[in-house]
Amino acid sequence: MGGGRGVSGGSGGSSGVTAKAGGSKAMASGAAGPAARPDSSGASGGSRLTSGAAGGAPSRLGQVTEFHLMERIFDGCDRLMRMACAFSSVPVAFLAGLVANESGGDARAMRFEPAVYDHLAAVAQGGRPAYGAIGQKALEAEIEDALHPKSDSYHAHFLTASFDERSASALGETPDEALRELATSWGYTQIMGYHMIWRGGEARDLLDPDFHFSMALELVAQFAESYQLDVRCEFRELFGCWNTGRPYGETTDPRYVENGLRRMAIYRQVEEARSRESGAGAPSQKLD
């Protein structure tokens, strides 16, 4: 697929898809046109990992906790992310920020989205509801603070009339359990299961780390193309897209973007510290 500015190679296209459904390999993007872009620079303030923290910069304890969080992500994910980014312009630190924001480094994190399930079930039964027309009755359900639900605008970006038309037949043949998996976000960066429709696999494939990070880069490239973003530097906008489906949408956690930018900076500190410990230079984006 083409990419936004600065996208080199990306994750290399889709891997053939069907969440129990054959068909086109293309993803429904429902992309809007480019948005006006405020200044992307700077990151300050924010909360600790839990989303309900008070405003302002993290306390000293919070700073230590965040450093340990990014160290844990480095230890568990750095090589996986570096391999995924080997042929992409997306920095490893950006993926690390997404991991910190979305799952806190939990490879098996999952979150069921009831409103998305209602939408998919309605499409499976022959309906054509606009996303959001179905009640949001369970969207505020109790969840772990570390998991950030996608905003309504994120799902509206993908669950378009075109998506419904193309997926109706496949969804109509999908068992209820599989529908629920399509309505669940999975893994390190909480990718929605419905992105697996038309890809020749199942939503649970997103728990495979190699495949997960490849898919994450594909989605980043899609956002970059839709909104003409440079993946090498427009991180504020990309964090916004990941949570809301557009660069400047209202995030479910008001400090989601600031948290991501700050955690990127901390991750780079961890990279430098580990490089000094090993006597190596600064880590390279590419792997042999």
Q: Once rounded to an integer, what is the mean pLDDT over residues 139-162?
A: 50
Tokens in use for 159? Answer: 């669950």
Q: What is the mean pLDDT of residues 141-164?
A: 51
Residue of 125 and 280 predicted with greater confidence: 125
Q: What is the pLDDT of residue 55?
A: 41
Share of the chain above pLDDT 70, in %: 59
- Strands 110-112 and 191-192, by their bridges, are unpaired
Specify whether the CB–CB gap between 245 and 194 falls below 8 A: no
Residue 184 has a pLDDT of: 93
Query: Distance between CA 279 and CA 238 in Å, rounded?
Result: 33
> 244: alpha, beta or left, given left = phi > 0 and alpha = psi -120 to 50?
alpha
Q: Is the pTM of this model over 0.75?
A: no
Among 158-167, 169-178, 214-223, the minimum mean pLDDT is found in 158-167
Residue 46, classed as helix, strand or coil, is: coil
> What's the mean pLDDT when you consider all of the chain?
73
Q: In what order do the strands lie in the sheet containing 184-186?
A: 110-112, 184-186, 191-192
- With vertex at residue 251, the alpha carbon angle to CA 245 and CA 252, rounded to the nearest 5 degrees, is 115
Q: Check if the beta carbon of residue 99 is closer than 8 Å to that of residue 119.
A: no
Q: How far apart are CA 58 and CA 81, in angstroms?
A: 26
Query: In this predicted structure, what is the pLDDT of residue 103?
Result: 96
**Residue pLDDT, tens place only, 230-259:** 999 999 999 999 999 999 999 989 999 999
Average pLDDT in the 7-26 region? 36
Q: What phi and psi values does residue 11 have, to the nearest 5 degrees?
A: -95, 5
- Domain range annotation of the chain: 60-278
* Residue-level pLDDT at 163: 52
CB of 231 closer than 8 Å to CB of 89: yes
Instruction: Tell me the backbone φ, ψ of residue 218, rounded to 5 degrees.
Output: -65, -40
**Residue 249, helix vs strand vs coil:** coil
pLDDT in tens, 170-201: 555 566 788 889 899 999 999 999 888 877 78
Q: Which of 82, 94, 57, 56 is nearest to 267 (CA)?
A: 94
Q: What tokens were used for 150?
A: 């996608």
Q: Which whole number is the average pLDDT over 272-278? A: 92
Is the pLDDT assigned to residue 32 strictly greater than 60?
A: no
How would DSSP label each residue in 6-45?
T--STT-S-----BS--S--PPP--PPPPPP---------
Residue 95: HSE in the Cβ half-sphere, 13 Å Cα cutoff: 36
